[in-house]
């Protein structure tokens, strides 16, 4: 659970900028950067803001669509019955062994799930289920925008405290990007962006850590 407030992060950034009184970078501007920073973290670490749906209601068949606020699928651990769902399963292997698998519509529980990150809001299950079958689904989502009033009221950040440094580095990157006309600031901006990436690792590594290995057997 987070324990750091958005205002504590903005104060820390302001201190590093040495901008007493928030003159060069007003607090509203820093808060805007903070909102973008949380999204930038989730883009690289989808598990940073995960939504766990205990009763995801399926449509009939194999093709399922995540909620509108979802960014990408993280996992489908089990059916509502408690039976485990294995995956992510390799599509080519399923195509080879069960060419007509997409036509299934009558199962009570799914056994496998398939996911392609090129189509992030859609996933497939096998066998295809009846209308209203339920799954436990975990997906990432964009953190809600923090308003100035929420910030002033002591709003906690939506991500875990472990991302505090990464958020700070990304906001500083944006701040110095604004002042690119000053000779030293492009280098400072890049330095903070590099630090942000170092904090999180590259997105591909994060995705691999979250997704795990595809089942091909």
Secondary structure string (H, E, C) spanning the chain? CCCCEHHHHHHHHHHHHCCCCCCCCCHHHHHHHHHHHHHHHHHHCHHHHEEEEEEEECCCEEEEECCCCEEEEEEEEEECCCCECECCECHHHHHHHCCCHHHCCCECCCCEEEECCCCCCEEEEEEEECCCCEEEEEEEECCCCCCHHHHHCCCECCCCHHHHHHHHHHHHHHHHHHCCCCCCHHHHHHHHHHHHHHHHCCHHHHHHHHHCCCECC
Q: What pLDDT was estimated at residue 204?
A: 46
Q: What pLDDT was estimated at residue 201?
A: 82
Q: What pLDDT was estimated at residue 206?
A: 47
Determine if the pTM surpasses 0.85: no
Both structure tokens of 177 = 């990007």
Q: What pLDDT was estimated at residue 193?
A: 93
- Give the residues of the chain that fall short of pLDDT 50: 203-204, 206
């Amino acid at each position: 659970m987070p324990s750091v407030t958005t205002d504590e992060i903005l104060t820390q950034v302001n201190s590093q900028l040495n901008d007493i009184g928030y003159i060069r970078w007003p607090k509203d501007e820093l808060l805007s950067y903070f909102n973008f920073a949380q999204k930038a973290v989730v883009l690289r670490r989808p598990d940073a803001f995960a939504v766990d749906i205990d009763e995801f209601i399926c449509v009939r068949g194999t093709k399922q669509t995540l909620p509108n606020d979802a960014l990408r699928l993280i996992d489908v651990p089990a059916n509502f019955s408690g039976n485990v769902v294995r995956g992510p399963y390799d599509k080519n292997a399923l195509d080879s062994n069960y060419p007509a698998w997409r036509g299934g519509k009558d199962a009570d529980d799914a056994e496998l799930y398939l996911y392609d990150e090129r189509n992030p809001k859609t996933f497939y299950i096998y066998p295809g289920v009846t209308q209203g079958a339920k799954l436990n689904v975990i997906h990432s989502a964009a953190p809600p925008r923090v308003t100035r009033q929420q910030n002033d009221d002591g709003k906690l950040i939506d991500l875990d405290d472990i991302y505090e440094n990464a958020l700070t580095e990304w906001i500083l990157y944006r701040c110095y990007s604004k002042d690119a006309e000053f000779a030293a600031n492009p280098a400072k901006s890049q330095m903070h962006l590099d630090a942000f990436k170092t904090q999180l690792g590259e997105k591909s590594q994060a995705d691999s850590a979250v997704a795990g290995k595809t089942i091909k057997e």
